[in-house]
Amino acid sequence: MEKDENKELDAFYKKIIQESGLEEPSANFTASVISKIQQENQRAEIFSYRPLIPRYVWWVSTVLLSVFFGFVFLKPENSEFTILPAWNLDFFKMDAFVAALNSFQLPDALVYGFLSLAIFISFQAYLLKTHWNKQFIVE
Amino acid sequence: MSLQQDQHYIDQVIKGDINAFSVLVDRYKHMVYTLAVRMVRNNEEAEEVAQDTFLKVYKALPSFKGDSKFSTWVYKIAYNRSLDYVKKLSRMPETTLIEEYGEHNRTNLKTVLDQFEIDTRKETIKSAMQELPADYATILTLHYFEELSLKEISKVMDASPDTLKVKLFRARKRLGGILKDRLQEKI
């Protein structure tokens, strides 16, 4: 009985709400949306990220540096390759620097402090990303 | 509108065809605008919120996974944008202190409603909807006009179906009360 009445009420409110119809947006609504999207796209194109140093320059530099250091460090001692001048490359021997690093000790409190901060920031980044993405997710 | 009918246009938009997006806008603009009007309660501001909703939809379209109907996803964005807008203006939700109308009086209400011309009826119902709290008007529109189930509305409004069931019941009573008052004024 109660179920039937509820069904009747549902039908009544459905009828009157459907009869009243939806609100009508302005006539140029779609055109305005499309025009805003086009403006956004143009703006995005103008302000799009272009690296100051192109990718191929990084690749060429990496190859050249690898060849150079490979030659300096891996060249056999008795090599007769004499195009390069006899540079003094002793400054590449970093024994003193390594020894200095070995004797350098950070206080434990500082290490734990930085570690906690890193964990906190990572966790916060994850939480914020989840929060912002949530408005586009429908389970 | 089924997801299959929208999916073709969604794919086209993701490929870069902006004109395909205008088909989707035309399909959903009335409901999105209506939801915005129900929430924001001002036609100019609602238009802005509705346009903003479609900009958001366009940007977020590649992240739409098709787990739900496209329409539900669009309405969720519209609802959230409207809520953000209302919060930004710190506009308190308006509520009308009108006695809830006993549901057993439905027959009387129907009889009285039938006495009016269709245009007057439409106007009365629309203005009564505007007097309802935003949540109530949104639930009534989604449930009775768009015929979404409470489960689907729960995805849009981020509330449990049980809570929505109670709200729907109260919204109906409140709408009945407002209609009764309006119609008595006109008789």
Chain A nearest C-alpha distance from B77 (Å) = 7
Phi-psi region of A108 (alpha: psi -120 to 50; beta: other; left: phi over 0): alpha
- Answer yes or no: do B67 and A139 touch at CB < 8 A: yes
Cα atoms found within 13 Å of the Cα of residue A66, Cβ hemisphere only = 6
Rounded CA separation A138/B4 (Å): 17
Contact B177, B101 (CB under 8 A): yes
Quickly state the pLDDT bin for B179 (edges 50, 70, 90): confident
Which of B25, B58, B156 shows the shortest C-beta gap to A30?
A: B25
Question: Which of A90, A71, A98 minimizes the C-alpha distance to A82?
Answer: A71
Q: Is the pLDDT of residue B136 over 60?
A: yes
Q: Which CATH class is domain B103-186?
A: mainly alpha
Q: Which residues of B touch A5 (CB under 8 A)?
A: 103
Task: Give the mean pLDDT per block of 10 residues along chain A (139 residues).
Answer: 72 87 92 92 80 91 92 70 65 76 86 95 92 72
Which of A7, A14, A18, A20 to mutate against chain B (most B CBs within 10 Å)? A20
pLDDT in tens, B49-75: 999 999 999 999 998 888 888 999 999
The reply to whether residue B55 touches residue A24, judged by beta carbons under 8 angstroms, is no
pLDDT given at position A76:
66
The secondary structure of A34-80 as a DSSP string is: HHHHHHHHHHHHHT----SS-HHHHHHHHHHHHHHHHHHHHS-TT--
CB contact under 8 A, B47 and A25: yes
Q: Which two tokens stand for residue B90?
A: 């710190």
* Distance (Å) from the alpha carbon of A48 to chain B's nearest alpha carbon: 15
Q: What pLDDT score does B157 carry? A: 92
Q: Per the structure block, which two tokens stand in for B123?
A: 């106007």
Q: Using the beta-carbon criterion (under 8 Å), do A12 and B47 form an inter-chain contact?
A: no
Cβ atoms of A30 and B22 closer than 8 Å: yes
What tens digit of pLDDT does each residue of B90-135 get? 765 555 454 555 554 555 666 666 666 777 778 888 888 888 999 9
Between chain A and chain B, the number of residue pairs with CB atoms below 8 A apart is: 106
Residue B83 C-alpha, separation from nearest chain A C-alpha, in angstroms = 12
CATH architecture of B3-88: Orthogonal Bundle (1.10)
pLDDT, position B104: 45
The nearest CA of chain A is from the CA of B90 a distance in Å of 20
Query: What's the CA gap between B68 and B35, in Å, rounded?
Result: 19
Higher-pLDDT residue of B20, A137: B20
Say what the pLDDT of residue B77 is.
Answer: 95
- CB distance A37–B51 less than 8 Å? no
SS (H, E, C) A80-112: CCCCCCCCCCHHHCCHHHHHHHHHCCCCHHHHH
Domain with CATH 1.10.10.10 in chain B: 103-186
Q: Where in chain B is the domain with CATH 1.10.1740.10?
A: 3-88
Closest CA to A33 of B143, B23, B51: B51
pLDDT the model gives residue B57: 95
Residue A48 is predicted with a pLDDT of 76
Measured between CA atoms, the residue of chain A closest to residue B125 is: A20
Chain B residue closest to A40 (CA)? B55
- Give the helix ranges, DSSP H, for chain B: 3-14, 18-40, 43-60, 70-88, 106-114, 118-131, 134-140, 150-157, 161-186
The verdict on a CB contact (< 8 Å) between B55 and A30 is: no
Taking an 8 Å cut-off on Cβ atoms, the answer to whether B106 and A9 are in contact is yes
Tell whether the model's pLDDT for residue B1 goes beyond 60: no
Closest CA to A136 of B70, B48, B20: B70
Q: How close does chain B come to A10, measured CA to CA in Å?
A: 8
How is residue B112 written in tokens?
């009285």
